[in-house]
């Protein structure tokens, strides 16, 4: 794989890097360390800037008005976009735009696009992705206990979901329910559900280790959803979920790498100016080795993320590569942030610096988008050529 960047990619990377460092970092200095939102006036101004840069709505296909940016370049952009305090869960606070909901709606029928996709692209609606359940999220297709029972022109849904982001703010979402108990993974269907549907409940807010972000628990009680709200085919929901999860792991990994790069950069600068016992930290072998390990971790994780993106771009199978990218990105990123905190000493755990927020949020990355143990299971299955369960 050729890791050299084209002139266009170099220009875009440099553009995004300057945007984050000149526009986002100064704003964050004035905000609560745990915030994930910008003041509206600043957000509007920065959205205008990204539109002028031709980089607004990066995950929107060009036929729907998005920029024509391939997944490799989007991965490079994600690495740069995440290099700020809120980089892991609010990459540039949404000013680069996006679907604001499940990208699977690009595959919806025209009626569904008119009702949900186009309003989302116009910024009128947002969505949630409802897959994980209290019974377990590591093997969502088999763990799904939410049931949808056919009743005339509708399906009646009963069950619950857990760890769902944005459901308390969204106008609709994708809900995966079991429609055929005899088919395992092949018996799950994806429904598009409006949040004002009778029987839809946000049971509670679930606060987690992550800063201002949180998840929700959802409940469905005799919730009637018309058959016209089925996304894709009946019993074809797992393929929709699987495609989304495999592709999403690439930018998920890239965000971890971007945070690691910025943390490493801050640590290198600090090691050069901080003196102990008459000499700079950078002269101490223990510090040098920590910085060397950072460099090795970052380079390896970046290579794996770009390899997965390259295979996806070329239309090659990339499931194993995206799992490897997710493992290396989240674990290497966590190690880098931990070392940088140690190098900074007491300052490393103070909210004056971004490390303690990155440390908390990076820990979640080993669980989100499929726990790393499950990613290793996926890789083992492909390496061994076996149908491991």
Each residue's pLDDT tens digit, 63-100: 988 898 999 999 999 999 999 999 987 778 888 887 66
Report the share of the chain in percent with pLDDT over 70: 95
Among candidate residues 183, 202, 231, the one where a domain is terminated: 231
Mean pLDDT of 327-340: 98
Among candidate residues 178, 200, 231, the one where a domain is terminated: 231
Does the pLDDT value for residue 313 go beyond 90? Answer: yes
**If you average pLDDT over every residue of the chain, what do you get?**
92
Does the pLDDT value for residue 265 go beyond 80? Answer: yes
pLDDT attached to residue 211: 58
Same domain, 291 and 218: no
Same domain, 65 and 162: no
Yes or no: say if 211 and 36 are a contact pair by the CB < 8 Å rule: yes
pLDDT band for position 184 (50/70/90)?
Answer: confident
Same domain, 205 and 264: no
Kindly state whether residue 115 falls inside one of the protein's structural domains: no
pLDDT attached to residue 183: 86
Kindly state whether residue 108 falls inside one of the protein's structural domains: no
Does the pLDDT value for residue 165 go beyond 80? Answer: yes
Tokens 């969204």 locate to: 170
* 42-51, 266-275, 326-335: segment of lowest average pLDDT: 42-51
Same domain, 368 and 284: yes
The CA distance from 252 to 330, in Å, is 8
Mean pLDDT of 148-173: 96
Q: Which among 192, 178, 140, 193 is positioned nearest to 162, based on CA atoms?
A: 140
pLDDT attached to residue 363: 95
Instruction: List helix spans (H) across 88-225.
Output: 110-112, 118-121, 140-143
User: How deeply is 285 buried, as exposed, middle or buried, from its count of CB atoms within 10 A (0-12, 13-18, 19+)?
Assistant: exposed
pLDDT attached to residue 387: 56
Same domain, 258 and 311: yes
Kindly state whether residue 265 falls inside one of the protein's structural domains: yes
Does the pLDDT value for residue 221 go beyond 90? Answer: yes
Same domain, 82 and 157: no
For the domain that residue 352 is a member of, what is the CATH number? 1.20.140.10
pLDDT attached to residue 245: 81
Same domain, 26 and 91: yes
Kindly state whether residue 135 falls inside one of the protein's structural domains: yes
Does the pLDDT value for residue 137 go beyond 60? Answer: no
The number of distinct structural domains making up the chain is 3
pTM above 0.75, yes or no: yes
- Residue 107 annotated as catalytic: no
* 123-127, 302-306, 325-329, 384-388: segment of lowest average pLDDT: 384-388
Reading phi first (left if > 0) and then psi (alpha if -120 to 50, else beta), residue 109 is in beta
The CA distance from 11 to 384, in Å, is 41
Give me 163's structure tokens. Answer: 């760890």
pLDDT attached to residue 59: 86
Kindly state whether residue 138 falls inside one of the protein's structural domains: yes
Q: In the chain, what's the furthest Cα-to-Cα distance?
A: 81
Domain extent at residue 274: 247-384
pLDDT attached to residue 214: 82
Q: Which of 80, 217, 361, 369 is catalytic?
A: 369
pLDDT band for position 239 (50/70/90)?
Answer: confident
Same domain, 276 and 178: no
Report helix angle 7-19 to 71-81, nearest 10.
Answer: 30
pLDDT attached to residue 138: 60
Same domain, 274 and 376: yes
Does the pLDDT value for residue 310 go beyond 90? Answer: yes
pLDDT band for position 140 (50/70/90)?
Answer: low
Same domain, 34 and 82: yes
Q: Which helix (DSSP H) or strand (DSSP E) does residue 216 occupy?
A: strand 214-226
Sorted by sequence, the CB contacts under 8 Å of residue 385 that are 6+ apart come out as none
Same domain, 85 and 59: yes
Kindly state whether residue 109 falls inside one of the protein's structural domains: no
Among candidate residues 187, 202, 231, the one where a domain is terminated: 231
pLDDT attached to residue 177: 96
For the domain that residue 95 is a member of, what is the CATH number? 1.10.540
Same domain, 13 and 71: yes
Kindly state whether residue 360 falls inside one of the protein's structural domains: yes
Does the pLDDT value for residue 366 go beyond 60? Answer: yes
Q: Which among 369, 289, 292 is positioned nearest to 330, based on CA atoms?
A: 369
Kindly state whether residue 110 falls inside one of the protein's structural domains: no
For the domain that residue 199 is a member of, what is the CATH number? 2.40.110.10
């Amino acid at each position: 794989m050729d890791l050299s960047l084209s002139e266009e990619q170099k220009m875009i990377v440099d553009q995004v890097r300057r945007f984050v460092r000149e526009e986002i970092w100064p704003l964050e200095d004035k905000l609560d360390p745990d915030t994930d939102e910008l003041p509206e006036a600043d957000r509007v101004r920065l959205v205008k800037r990204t539109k002028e840069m031709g980089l607004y709505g990066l995950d929107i296909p060009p036929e729907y008005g998005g920029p024509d940016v391939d997944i490799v370049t989007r991965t490079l952009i994600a690495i740069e976009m995440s290099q700020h305090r809120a980089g892991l869960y609010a990459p540039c606070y949404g000013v680069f735009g996006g679907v604001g909901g499940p990208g699977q709606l690009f595959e919806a029928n025209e009626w569904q696009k008119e009702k949900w996709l186009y309003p989302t692209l116009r910024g009128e609606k947002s969505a949630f992705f409802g897959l994980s359940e209290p019974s377990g999220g590591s093997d969502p297709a088999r763990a799904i206990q939410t049931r949808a029972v056919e009743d005339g022109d509708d399906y009646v849904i009963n069950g619950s979901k857990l760890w769902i982001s944005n459901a308390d703010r969204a106008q609709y979402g994708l809900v995966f329910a079991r429609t055929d108990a005899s088919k395992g993974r092949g018996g799950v269907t994806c429904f598009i559900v409006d949040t004002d549907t009778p029987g839809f409940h946000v049971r509670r807010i679930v606060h987690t280790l992550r800063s201002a972000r949180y998840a929700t628990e959802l409940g469905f009680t005799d919730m009637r959803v018309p058959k016209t709200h089925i996304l894709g085919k009946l019993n074809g929901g797992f393929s929709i979920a699987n495609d989304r999860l495999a592709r999403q792991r690439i930018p998920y990994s890239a965000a971890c790498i971007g945070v690691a790069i910025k943390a490493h950069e801050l640590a290198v600068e600090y090691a050069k100016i901080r003196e102990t016992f008459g000499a700079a930290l950078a002269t101490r072998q223990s510090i040098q080795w920590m910085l060397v390990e950072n460099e090795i971790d970052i380079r390896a994780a970046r290579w794996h993320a770009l390899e997965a993106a390259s295979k996806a771009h070329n239309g090659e199978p990339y499931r194993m590569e995206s799992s490897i990218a997710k493992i290396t990105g989240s674990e290497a990123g966590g190690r880098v942030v931990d070392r940088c905190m140690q190098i900074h000493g007491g300052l490393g755990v103070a909210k004056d610096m971004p490390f303690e927020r990155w440390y908390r949020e990076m820990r979640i990355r080993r669980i989100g988008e499929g726990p790393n143990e499950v990613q290793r299971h996926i890789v083992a299955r492909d390496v061994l050529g076996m149908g491991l369960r």
